Structure 1
Amino acid sequence: MKLTVINVDMKYILIFFLLASCLSCKAQTIVPLANNHSDLYHKPNTYTKDVDNEFGKYEGTWKYQNGTTILIIKLQKKVFDFFAEKNYYEDLLIGEYAYIVNGTELINTLDKLNTPQPSTGAYDIYGNRIVHRGIPPICADCLLDEKRVILFIDDPERDYLDNSIILRYKIENGTQKIVAKIYKSGTSIFIPAGATDEMRVPYGEYILTKQP
């Protein structure tokens, strides 16, 4: 009989901790992602959330093609991702890409999206910075209230480079597109001797169309 009582008690204890955990999650202070000037931004016990679902419109497969040059980008929204080092949660955009020239794949990391990675930074496209038109790279023809998204983009064979990609969503004649600008966002300090300081995907602007 004592063993039976202990088992029942343990079930109640387990239920108690599960409920406490859920209540703890709900108690997270929500900080809008677009409000990166908030004093609570990326602070412990907060949830930096994509409250306006800016990331939702970027999800999917996007393709740029100019002659025999093709760039494919796949993006997914990742919600409530836990950043253990600073004890906060956040929403992110993650992705992978392929770059093909004259039928030769110079880069293809798309399969990584099918396998959970050990951390968000293990994806080759990741981040969550939402910015307005005046944040560099400046967008002169963006609307006053238009938002863009800045992400990190890595070349897996040149991980010493510091690169970013800024995305602008637009609809032209009923077709969904993103204007993607890939650029060098910092100075790479530890460049191996004789190594290039350029990504295999050339820096510049690409207009990609949403794929079915």
Structure 2
Amino acid sequence: MKYILKFLMLLTFFSCKAQIIVPLAADSDAAYTNGTYNKDVDNDFSKYIGTWKYQNGTTALTISLVKKTFEYFPYKNYYQDLLVGEYKYVHNGTEIINTLSLLANNSLRGDDHSISGNLIWPKNLYPICSDCEENERRIKLSISDPERTYLSNSIVLRYKNDNGTQKIIVKIYKSDNSIMQPEGYPNEMRVPYGEYILTKQP
């Protein structure tokens, strides 16, 4: 049994080594294709890891993010790094939604989280960032509302260091690929679409 375990570990090691590494920021035809590892080689995700909070009186949005590495996508047989997260939204002191506890659920795949993705987003793609530096890179992820799964929503993150205070500027919006919503159902997430500035929490 010990030898079988060693063999399987070696096989896994060499399988990992055999992957074709494609940087997430690269504009490559090989991205997300069979046998590739779509990797955050430039560590674009690192500055977003942690808990962030927007506060306006008794209304607050909290987002917690972690990086998942070497996540397997079996449908197309590739691996990828992901930035995933969960969130809590409180409106006028009333908790509207809270998925934060799911971040500790190790049984969830990366893309099963309420926030997930890995697209490196330049300044000239929607939402256009007119005050971004020319080569500044943002991150585009999907964000879902567990009570309104028929909606397809996006969240774009922009990191800012404001005189030592770490912030992310977040834009949440409805994606074009939302499926037709059931008649009489809400057409927006419970977190209002729009822009929020969140500050890094200790």
TM-score where L is the length of structure 1: 0.91
Q: Distance in 2 between matches of 1:208 and 1:127?
A: 19
5+ residue gaps, structure 2, are: none
What SS does the aligned partner of 2:11 have? helix
After the TM superposition, which residues 14-163 of structure 1 pair with which residues of structure 2 at under 5 Å, given as runs?
Answer: 14-35=5-26, 37-163=27-153
After the TM superposition, which residues 188-207 of structure 1 pair with which residues of structure 2 at under 5 Å, given as runs?
Answer: 188-207=178-197
Report percent identity of matched pairs: 60
Residue pair 2:68, 2:110 contacting (<8 A) in 1 also: no
Deviations 1:41-84 (A, max 9, x none): 00111100000101010000000011111000000000111111
Work out the number of aligned pairs and report it: 202
Larger Rg: 1
Deviations 1:68-112 (A, max 9, x none): 110000000001111111111100000000000122100000000
Residue pair 1:69, 1:102 contacting (<8 A) in 2 also: yes
What SS does the aligned partner of 1:135 have? coil
Closer, same or farther: CA 201–13 of 1 in aligned 2, 3 Å:
closer
Q: Which has a greater percent of helix?
A: 1
What SS does the aligned partner of 1:25 have? helix
Q: Distance in 2 between matches of 1:14 and 1:113?
A: 30
Amino acid at match of 1:167: L
What SS does the aligned partner of 2:102 have? helix
Amino acid at match of 1:34: A
Closer, same or farther: CA 11–76 of 1 in aligned 2, 3 Å:
closer
What SS does the aligned partner of 2:10 have? helix
5+ residue gaps, structure 1, are: 1-9
Deviations 1:144-176 (A, max 9, x none): 110000000001110100100000001001100
What SS does the aligned partner of 2:126 have? coil
Which of 188-197 and 72-81 deviates more?
188-197
What SS does the aligned partner of 1:42 have? coil
Q: Give, in angstroms, the shift of residue 21 of structure 1.
A: 2.3
Which of 187-196 and 84-93 deviates more?
187-196
Q: Give, in angstroms, the shift of residue 13 of structure 1.
A: 5.1
Q: Distance in 2 between matches of 1:202 and 1:30?
A: 38
Q: Distance in 2 between matches of 1:194 and 1:201?
A: 19
Q: Distance in 2 between matches of 1:187 and 1:81?
A: 24
Q: Give, in angstroms, the shift of residue 15 of structure 1.
A: 3.0
TM-score where L is the length of structure 2: 0.95
Closer, same or farther: CA 31–187 of 1 in aligned 2, 3 Å:
closer
Pick from 135, 158, 173: which aligns with 1:183? 173
Closer, same or farther: CA 160–16 of 1 in aligned 2, 3 Å:
same
Residue pair 1:170, 1:177 contacting (<8 A) in 2 also: yes
Q: Give, in angstroms, the shift of residue 19 of structure 1.
A: 1.5
